[in-house]
Structure 1
Amino acid sequence: MKKVSVVIPVYNEVENIEAMVKAVGDALLPTKREFELILIDDGSRDGSRKIIQQVAKTTAWLKPLYFARNYGQSTAMQAGFDHAVGDYIVTLDGDLQNDPADIPTLLKMLDDDPEIDCVSGWRKDRQDATLSRKIPSMIANALISKITRVQLHDYGCALKAYRGQILRDLKLYGELHRFIPALAVEVGATIVEVPVNHRARVAGVSKYGIDRTIRVLLDLLWIRFTMRFLHRPIHAFGGIAMLMLVLGLGTLGWLTFEKLIMGVDIGGRPLLMLGVLFTLVGIQLLATGLIGELLIRIYHEPEGRKQYILKDMDSH
């Protein structure tokens, strides 16, 4: 059987850690799979670190990582992916709202179909407040699906199972952990969604707030930009640049005609300033696109990075 790495970021979840570790063990030990649980303490201040240290002494398959300070969930998950050695990588939250008992079902789907690279959980019967959590989540999921063109009911569900190679080809920054399915599709992954159990939080405090919504929206703009223009930045700026240049040079050309042929005084006309503005903006945007093209080559060539990723079917 394929080895499994379970990655769980933890931040101020002292009341849930022991129960969570036990639940993961109860879910995976009966499967006879070789597995590891990577808990990333993201700078907790409530004693979570001490509990993790205590549990790790008696749990051979628990591999804790401790951050010096709070870096955020995306960075914590990236650290987990960097240290994971499993053929499959499973992610879930540390608040016990995700049910670890669903993990074997997700893994079996990866076992049974080599074409599937990610099984994404869908909290179909979500146990959260309707106004403050469910409705905003529905709006966010619809918006993310529309912009990324990766149709999922529930981007926010942390319970997902991936083939390890997919995640090793990704790098997470900001709040990008919730966009992993979209990033995975960009590197060629095939994703399926399956309903999973969801439980109400019984201990601890939710870490989600309105400030995170703003960060997510900004990261969504970045995701859309990279999905369309990462390897062709000149296309992002070139179209607008050409439009500005046509308008600007056309305006200046007409004013030149009026000045030289018709003898019209154009020195004080606002149209002259507008033509100059359009031309300068067009030149700046075109230069930005060309600089972007140079940067993408600098990104790939010195480190030997390829512009493509080959799918290893033998590992499936």
Structure 2
Amino acid sequence: MTTGEHPIPLADSSLQAVTHLPAYEFDVSIVILAGESHLDLESFAEMVDAFRKVVREARIKTEFIVVDDGVGGDFFDLLVQLNREIPNFRVIRFRRTFGESVALRIATERARGEFVITNTWYMQVKPESIIDVYKELKKGADFVAARRVPRIDSRLARMQSWAFNKLTQMMTKVELHDLNCSFRGFRKDVIDAIQFHGDLFRFMPVLAVGQGFLVKEIEVTHVAEKGPGTFLNFSLYLRRILDIFSLFFLLKFIRKPLRFFGLTGIALFMTGIGVVGWLTWQKFFGGVGVVDRPLFVVGVLLMVLGPILLSIGLIGEIIIFTQGNHLKDYHIGAVLGGEPDEE
């Protein structure tokens, strides 16, 4: 699959074969994130049973890690019961809600499987999709993103999802179609290599592409979701748009902030010069007053704001110059050859 400036490379198991991988206790760690204050205990228990049946029939050695992100109450009581009844069923409980990014990173650090497959507390796709993701990871993909097809939610939800994913594609040049799907799989070292916080966890496959990981998107069967509605209100719209612009800056300008702030600052300064110059021309040659016109204030403001943004870009460049060696924005897939010659 080609994605413009950031192509998603095809998984190639030949490179993975030469990499010495550590031994793992499990084939897969299934991480389930629960952060809703009101969730359906019955639906959660049914999902766990369905996942267990699939991995048992497929003979995939699996552990479950459920993160109670500040839910507590009856849900935690259910987790305690399942922990006693189900082998390799582990629970991580937070005293308050810290968000999915923190929950995902903590769970992945404690995972003992070669691969990690994540899901929210309710079913989004058919349980058999676990096998599809597992197969792609075994073939050599570092990250497998799921695309729910056909979508069976409301027309409005589908339109919102399309707009969100389309805007992300335009800003990042990475062609992924269902970033809101919580069902995804990856190698543990992917989490160690990419940086994300807050709501940026949903952009993990995009960040993985930026790091050079092998990312593949597969189609999975969508099922009726019993979780919260997918409708986005106005405040969520704004948050998602800000997240996309934040992602765009992280991918494009993290090592060259002066290009962003410098170009923006110069553009504002030149616009301000043009506005003030035009008004000055009107004053001297047209006899039109300037000081009492709001446009003059805007022009002066732009002339002041431009150098400020330029200065921010210069400060950013200084920080990158002095600390850039600690900023790892690449990933080595494999190294062929022996040790370097000794002098």
TM-score by length of 2: 0.76
What residue is the counterpart of 1:190 in the other structure? 214
How many Å separate the matches in 2 of 1:272 and 1:44?
A: 55
Once the 2 structures are TM-superposed, how far is the Cα of residue 175 of structure 1 from its aligned partner? 1.3
Kept in 2: contact 1:17–1:52 (CA 8 A): no
Picking from 53, 59, 64, the partner of 2:91 is 64
For structure 1, which runs of at least 5 residues remain unmatched after alignment?
none
1:310 matched to 2:335: no
Equivalenced residues, count: 301
Closer, same or farther: CA 151–275 of 1 in aligned 2, 3 Å: closer
How many Å separate the matches in 2 of 1:141 and 1:274?
A: 35
Bigger Cα displacement from structure 2, 98-107 vs 230-239: 98-107
For structure 2, which runs of at least 5 residues remain unmatched after alignment?
1-23, 337-343
Closer, same or farther: CA 165–287 of 1 in aligned 2, 3 Å: same
Once the 2 structures are TM-superposed, how far is the Cα of residue 160 of structure 1 from its aligned partner? 1.4
How many Å separate the matches in 1 of 2:181 and 2:102?
A: 17
Residue type of the alignment partner of 2:305: V
SS in 2 for 1:195: strand
Structure 1 consecutive aligned stretches of length 4 or more whose deviation exceeds 6 Å? 247-254, 271-275
Picking from 146, 160, 165, the partner of 2:170 is 146
Once the 2 structures are TM-superposed, how far is the Cα of residue 278 of structure 1 from its aligned partner? 4.8
What residue is the counterpart of 1:176 in the other structure? 200
1:124 matched to 2:176: no
What residue is the counterpart of 1:287 in the other structure? 311
The structure with higher relative contact order (CA 8 Å, sep 6+) is: 2
What residue is the counterpart of 1:20 in the other structure? 47
Closer, same or farther: CA 68–274 of 1 in aligned 2, 3 Å: closer
SS in 2 for 1:96: coil
Question: What are the Cα deviations for residues 23-47 of structure 1, in whole angstroms up to 9, with x where unaligned?
Answer: 2211222333332211111111552
Equivalent residues in 2 for 1:219-234, closer than 5 Å:
219-234=243-258
TM-score by length of 1: 0.81
CA RMSD of aligned residues (A): 3.2
How many Å separate the matches in 2 of 1:247 and 1:209?
A: 36
SS in 2 for 1:51: helix
How many Å separate the matches in 1 of 2:137 and 2:87?
A: 26
Closer, same or farther: CA 52–272 of 1 in aligned 2, 3 Å: closer
1:36 matched to 2:57: no
Once the 2 structures are TM-superposed, how far is the Cα of residue 200 of structure 1 from its aligned partner? 0.9
SS in 2 for 1:92: strand
Question: What are the Cα deviations for residues 6-27 of structure 1, in whole angstroms up to 9, with x where unaligned?
Answer: 1210133422232222222112
Equivalent residues in 2 for 1:74-89, closer than 5 Å:
74-89=101-116
Once the 2 structures are TM-superposed, how far is the Cα of residue 90 of structure 1 from its aligned partner? 1.0
Once the 2 structures are TM-superposed, how far is the Cα of residue 305 of structure 1 from its aligned partner? 4.2
Question: What are the Cα deviations for residues 118-153 of structure 1, in whole angstroms up to 9, with x where unaligned?
Answer: 22211111221223x222112222222222211122
How many Å separate the matches in 1 of 2:69 and 2:263?
A: 43
Kept in 2: contact 1:174–1:219 (CA 8 A): no
Bigger Cα displacement from structure 2, 50-59 vs 13-22: 13-22
Bigger Cα displacement from structure 2, 288-297 vs 35-44: 288-297
Once the 2 structures are TM-superposed, how far is the Cα of residue 101 of structure 1 from its aligned partner? 1.7
Kept in 2: contact 1:300–1:307 (CA 8 A): no
Closer, same or farther: CA 130–58 of 1 in aligned 2, 3 Å: same
Once the 2 structures are TM-superposed, how far is the Cα of residue 229 of structure 1 from its aligned partner? 0.5
